[in-house]
Structure 1
Amino acid sequence: MVDNRYATALVIGSVLSLLATVYLSVAVGTQHWYQYQSPAAGSDATNTSELRSLRDDFRDGDFDEKTYSDTLFRLNGTLGLWWRCVRVPADSHWFKEPDPKMVTECVSFTLPQQFIPKYKEPGNHNGQEDLLRTYLWRCQFLLPLVSLGLVFLGALIALCACLCRSLTPTLGIGVLHLLAGLCTLATVCCFLAGMDLLHRANLPPEGVDRSLGWSLYLALISSPLHMMAAALLLWAARSHRQNYHRMTAYLVA
């Protein structure tokens, strides 16, 4: 028999866990972690040709950190854990129009590209590898997957606990949610640290505005939600166990 207080804590914790998981899943699957606002492009032929070349290299060229970073700087780019996108005119003759229609073009990071090492001089593949940026990048896309995996494991344990009509595994589920929240928080920290180091190695052009995107804020919100869910689950499990031991001792006496 579960006390109403514990049942309420379990329900609220489950709702918080579900919200946190949805927020984190949306954050991982979208590209608005970091965004650039580029100055208006000129209409001269040289600038037009350069921007078109950047767009083509971004879409069809070989993967290179220097190349895609410069394209993001110049073409109102957005960057996520698995996507990089630019805002480009839909019409190929956009330079002839005063206000062309803009569309978003995205290219995904493949799994092998996620493990490509970073260099102290982006674009110089013969230069010295930047181990700090390399491992920050790898952590920023692996940690959210670990976080989602921990929550999924907790859900399986919770299902088994419901079938067995036992509240004992709730303690372990709470610990898993706490670890998931820490992994999510570490993801955000790794991403921000990596972007700061990238901008030091490859300085954006003057006039380019930089800002954090809503995807990053979703991930940031999901971390305390996981931790609050963990706190409720741990409290319910611990309090229920203490009351159970007291009741057992009373019945024995």
Structure 2
Amino acid sequence: MKDEPEEAELLLHDALRLAFQSNNQKAITYTYDLMANLAFIRGQLENAEQLFKATMRHLLGEGMKQEDNAIIEISLKLASIYAAQNRQEFALAGYEFCISTLEEKIEREKELAEGVMSGEEKANTHLLLGMCLDACARYLLHSKQPSQAQVMYEKALQISEEIQGERHPQTVVLMSDLATALDAQGRFDEAHAYMQRASELAREVDHPELHMVLSNLAAVLMHRERYTQAKEIYQEALKQAELKKDEVSIQHIREELAGLARKSSPLA
């Protein structure tokens, strides 16, 4: 939390040594998980992969089932690592495992009474499925497969709306991402409808990523050749990005505004 990852890593190695010395399996598993997450955050992907696999081996060795949410969460992180490493076959297999396992689990749990499994537990499993669908959709969109990404985003959005509501920040982001997938297919009118609603909700709830949603809306307007509106929205997005001190977004929006000026000029 204090942004001292090297010191955190040293402490975790000490913790792991003590856990092994006392043969405390739960402590070993917990520490491996913390070490894996730390490596993941630091971008040490190969190290994170090995640590996540070690965590999973310990959990399965303790009797945890493959369909347990904790196993799925680790599998999702592994799939994300493979995606970042451009190991497409492994990434897609990982996402497919997470999604299909959770869908089958949810189907079986539908008929379970409240006393056997709480509504909160069922909701958490649904939300985890939404996370997996979202991650897979992002990867598919990045891999230039927008129609497949659209299907994933639609399912993830439905889950988020049903469980968290339309005004939840994650729902707004998914709505915007779905619009981006539609926009990438040239389905500009549908994309605009979703993006317009996402921007309205983002303004209403003072969304932390309002500037990004507005920037996406402006991009759709540009593709529809509505240059005056696009410029206004980009300018609003730029103000919001500057308030957030998001330098990457500021640079991107300025570049888009420059491109827009060239497109809409009489000599363009």
Relative to the length of structure 2, the TM-score reads: 0.30
Write 1 or 2 for the structure with the bigger share of strand: 1
Relative to the length of structure 1, the TM-score reads: 0.31
Write 1 or 2 for the structure with the bigger share of helix: 2
Relative contact order higher in (CA < 8 Å, ≥ 6 apart): 1
